[in-house]
Structure 1
Amino acid sequence: MAADLSDLEHWVTPLIQKLSAGERRKLARKIATDVRKEQRERIKEQRAPDGTSYTPRKPSKRRRGRIREKAMFSKLRTARFMKTAATATGASVEFRGGAATIARVHQYGLTDRVSRKSPLRVRYASRPLLGVSARTESIVERAVIDHMTQR
């Protein structure tokens, strides 16, 4: 598993350079949507890109009894917050707006307020939401191969 797509980039770059700008943009859009879908499924499974499970939430002191906790990041993984961008030069999957702040805090394990008006600041566990895995690399490879064979 690679930390980035540099190995894949050396293999794909000569193939992509032969495409027109419109074809590259179309391929980038397909790659971005496929990667977003893979990231969404992985977040739903509560797994980091390296395959490890997320650190579970701390038990709430206010909730008692047999109330089941909701899965983390259920709204954050929707298309409303997880956006794709595609140009002739690249593709990206990112969080925008207020969701980006929440995602950054959890991605890197930063300190943030519990709520807007709360003076209480909490250090959150690192729970990587976006990242490159072996599965991501295979999705990009498959998209490039499929695009080239359809031409």
Structure 2
Amino acid sequence: MTSNDIEALSGWMEPLLRKMEPAERRKLMKLVSRDLRKANQERMQKQQGPDGDKWEPRKPQNLRGKKGAIRKKAMFTKLRTAKYLKIRTDSESAGLAFTGLSGRIAAIHHYGLRAKVDKNGPVYDYPARRLLGFSRNDLELIADRVLEHIEP
């Protein structure tokens, strides 16, 4: 997916949205945000980015069953819940954001930054794992939602 796809969608949607009352647009933005959150949560559960590429797996651990070992389960199970993945809407925009400390953790993984593992632990270069974004299906979903909302 390219930025041209997003611009094309924005180009034909903007005149339709401008004709709506602010309360109607806000209602539509909330519906779109919920759908996008669900789509992003499903991708995070599948351990893949918006473009469909699988995330780089966790670094192998040599813990041999020690207490506190990283469990062999999907990454970001709590981070993808509605408690941490918040909907941000108004009559002009719709979006998703991680808040607080979870936002910092999400940014480190999303962009592949360097950070301390623990408060006093070693510094680690995390691989980039795109947590949020748009796929082609998301753009189609947005277009469908707008059309469903406009049609009586």
Q: Do Structure 1 and Structure 2 share a fold, with TM-score over 0.5? A: yes
2:33 is the counterpart of 1:19: no
Partner-residue secondary structure (3-state), 2:118? coil
**Map 1:1-151 → 2, pairs under 5 A:** 1-3=1-3, 5-64=6-65, 69-118=72-121, 120-150=122-152
Percent identical across equivalent pairs? 38
Give the Å deviation of 1:62.
1.1
Partner-residue secondary structure (3-state), 1:94? strand
Instruction: Give the direction of change, closer, same or farther, for the CA distance of 1:70–1:89 in structure 2 (3 Å limit).
Output: same
Give the Å deviation of 1:143.
0.8
Give the Å deviation of 1:64.
4.6
Q: Any idea what the Cα deviations from partners look like across 1:36-90, whole Å, max 9, x if unmatched?
A: 000000110001111110001111111359x961110100000000000110110
Q: Any idea what the Cα deviations from partners look like across 1:71-118, whole Å, max 9, x if unmatched?
A: 101000000000001101101111010110011001110001111232
How many correspondences in the alignment? 148
Q: Is the 8 A contact 1:27 1:147 kept in 2?
A: yes
Taking structure 2 as the reference length, the TM-score comes to: 0.92
Measured in 2, the distance between the counterparts of 1:96 and 1:131 equals: 16
AA in 2 matched with 1:16:
L
Give the Å deviation of 1:5.
2.1
AA in 2 matched with 1:50:
D
Q: Is the 8 A contact 1:2 1:134 kept in 2?
A: no
Give the Å deviation of 1:18.
0.5
Q: Is the 8 A contact 1:112 1:122 kept in 2?
A: yes
Give the Å deviation of 1:2.
2.4
Moved more, 7-16 or 55-64: 55-64
Give the superposed CA RMSD: 1.6
Give the unaligned 5+ runs of structure 2: none
Q: Is the 8 A contact 1:105 1:124 kept in 2?
A: yes
Q: Is the 8 A contact 1:2 1:132 kept in 2?
A: no
Partner-residue secondary structure (3-state), 2:87? strand
